[in-house]
Amino acid sequence: MTDTLETFPPRIHVIFAPVANIGVVFRRGPSKQVATFLWDRSKDVFTIGQWLKGRIYERRADVSPDGTHMIYFAMNGKWDSETRGSWTAISKAPFLKAMDLYAKGDCWEGGGLFLTSNRYWLNDRHFNEKYTLKKDSKLACDRQARPEHHFGSECTGVYYPRLLRSGWKLTERAQQGKWHSKTVFEKPLSNGWVLRKIAHEQVDAPKGKGCYWDEHEVENLETGASIRLPDWEWAEWDQGTLVWAQLGKIYRGRFKGKRQLSEPELLHDFTDYSFEPIVAPY
């Protein structure tokens, strides 16, 4: 008797540019392969960027306000290489080819946030200039900057400040057990609706999820109508509509009055992709 390998839909995480009408989609699957996509939200057109054989920590990534650059933290485990097995990079969105490249050597901290379209903060308190492998962008790395609020040194240290910057309000932090905590964020929508993001930090998380994972719900504060959305792994409010990732696909939906959601519109199915070498156009 042989064991059947359990498979899961690709994991999807999206980062919106704070000003430009675009987003960058991180598609993970299999677990050690990641593809990036540019999402033109004005037309709901998705264009593939590049693949990486390794791990991108999407919760430590960011997109510049004007949507032209992104910062990300990645790991391929080649600890004897020039990048020391993990690195932070600045690239042209949605591509991964580094313009600025900082070797890391472990998975503690890494990544960062954009302060403006021309300045960024590195999530690395123990930064050593000797690990700067490339500095070809015209962007400035601000060594003195810090997020207003501190949420630890791994994914939450970048992800939670990014949510706060994007208009989410932190409403609860609770310990669910020795190795499980949740942080709840809310974003007001329209007609009394609120989108709630429950961000989990969990050792031995449910199968198919990482140690950092999200679930969502919407509630109408005027009518009390509530809809739990446990399969939504990412969700945002965009141009008066809800957009979300569910089971490897991105949807757009609208509220029907104050009690329910309309039939969702499928924007893109990310399930049927496999690794391909793509050269960045720069």
**CA-to-CA separations, 126 to 9, 147, 187, in angstroms, rounded:** 37, 16, 34
| Whole-number percent of the chain with pLDDT over 90 | 84
pLDDT of residue 273 exceeding 60: yes
Split at pLDDT 50, 70, 90, the class of 5 is low
- pLDDT interval class at 178 (50, 70, 90): confident
Q: Which residues pair with 202 in a beta bridge?
A: 180
Ranking 98-102, 122-126, 203-207, 220-224 by mean pLDDT, the lowest is: 203-207
pLDDT given for residue 1 in this prediction: 41
Whether the per-residue pLDDT at 193 is higher than 50: the answer is: yes
CB 191 within 8 A of CB 254: no
Q: Where are the domains of the chain?
A: 11-269
pLDDT at position 192 is: 95
Q: pLDDT averaged over the chain?
A: 94
Does the pLDDT at position 4 exceed 70?
no
pLDDT reported for residue 14 = 98
